């Protein structure tokens, strides 16, 4: 297993005592950066066993970009290039993931017909700070969910923006399931995905993916957990050491997330 250099970002109101080895509650623990993933660094740098020690809810991907990750109730699932979801053994690894110990503090009732584009407006009444992190979970019956996954890559790895040009997409109608993910503030641009980043897993935990859009069929309660500690653990391998991360990849990220 590759080593990590821990980098700890501490937001207001908390002392500088967060351990990057085992994060406390109210922490978002992230492995590697989104720009490193965009650059094509797909080799796994953290085991699923270690990832599960850091949190019970989260999202990410797997070694060689082999599918989308959903961490739900402490279990880790891969949604592969066929759209099927399977539980992942602890021995597998991830090149990029974010997890937290989910302890929701707020909730918002979302009406029937709410879609992804409306989500920020629906949550505006809660007085959420744009400068904090939030973990989200939404269980409900959806009129539709549009997702995508990514196929396993072979070396030499292509940049992510090239991979998603042929990404498999999936459409679910009248489906029960769970959306999980995070809101990240604008100042983490290049480190994580600013704004809302959600993944989906159906109720039977057999299908899902990275969320491109959704529409609620029935009203549902969205649960939120404000996070005030951000723990970033950087890979210490040669690939990360050598990669040029000064390039602005904002346009690439927009293409990848759409």
**Domains, the chain, ranges and CATH?**
4-101+229-257 (3.30.1330.80), 106-227 (3.30.1330.80)
Between 3 and 119, the more confident residue is 119
Cα angle vertex 89, ends 85, 91, to 5°? 140
State how far the Cα of 52 lies from the Cα of 23, in Å rounded to an integer.
11
Which of 170-204 are b and which e, b meaning 16 or more Cβ less than 10 Å from the residue's Cβ?
Answer: bebeebebbbbbbbbbeebbbbbbbebbbbbbbee
State how far the Cα of 81 lies from the Cα of 98, in Å rounded to an integer.
21
pLDDT at 150: 96
pLDDT at 47: 98
Please list the residues that pair with 57 across neighbouring strands. Answer: 100
Decide if pLDDT at 123 tops 70: yes
pLDDT tens per residue, range 53-99: 999 999 999 999 999 999 999 999 999 999 999 999 999 999 999 99
Distances (CA, A) of 25 to 46, 77, 114, 146, 154: 20, 22, 30, 32, 37
Cα 225 → chain centroid:
15
State how far the Cα of 221 lies from the Cα of 93, in Å rounded to an integer.
33
Does the pTM surpass 0.85? The reply is yes
pLDDT tens per residue, range 8-36: 554 322 232 233 456 667 999 999 999 99
What's the whole-number mean pLDDT along residues 154-182? 97
Decide if pLDDT at 182 tops 80: yes
Cα angle vertex 165, ends 247, 45, to 5°? 55
Between 17 and 45, the more confident residue is 45
pLDDT at 9: 52
**Which of 50, 91, 95, 87 has the alpha carbon at shortest distance from 71?**
87
State how far the Cα of 76 lies from the Cα of 242, in Å rounded to an integer.
30
- Cβ contact 186:159 at 8 Å: no
Across the chain, what does the average pLDDT equal?
Answer: 92
- Cβ contact 18:28 at 8 Å: no
State how far the Cα of 74 lies from the Cα of 100, in Å rounded to an integer.
10
């Amino acid at each position: 297993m590759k080593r990590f250099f821990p980098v700890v970002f501490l937001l207001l109101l908390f002392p500088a005592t967060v351990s990057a080895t085992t994060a406390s509650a109210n922490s978002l623990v992230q492995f590697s950066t989104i720009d490193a993933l965009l650059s094509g660094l797909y080799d796994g740098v953290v085991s699923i066993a270690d990832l599960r020690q850091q949190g019970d809810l989260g999202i990410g991907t797997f070694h060689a970009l082999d599918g989308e990750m959903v961490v739900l109730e402490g279990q880790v699932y891969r949604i592969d290039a066929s759209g099927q979801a399977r539980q992942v053994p602890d021995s597998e690894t991830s090149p990029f993931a974010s997890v937290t110990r989910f302890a929701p503090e707020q909730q918002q009732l979302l009406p029937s017909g709410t879609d992804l584009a409306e989500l920020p407006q629906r949550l505006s009444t809660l007085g959420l700070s744009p400068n904090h992190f939030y973990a989200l979970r939404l269980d409900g019956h959806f009129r539709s969910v549009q997702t995508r996954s990514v196929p396993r890559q072979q070396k030499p790895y292509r940049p992510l923006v090239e991979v998603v040009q042929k990404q498999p997409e999936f459409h679910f109608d009248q489906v029960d399931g769970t959306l999980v993910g995070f809101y990240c503030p604008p100042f983490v641009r290049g480190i994580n995905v600013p704004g809302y980043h959600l993944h989906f897993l159906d109720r039977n935990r057999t299908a899902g993916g990275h969320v491109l859009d959704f529409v609620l069929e029935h009203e549902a309660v969205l649960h939120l957990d404000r996070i005030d500690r951000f723990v970033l653990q950087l890979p210490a391998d040669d690939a990360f050491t050598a990669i040029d991360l000064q390039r602005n990849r904002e346009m690439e990220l927009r293409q990848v997330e759409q």
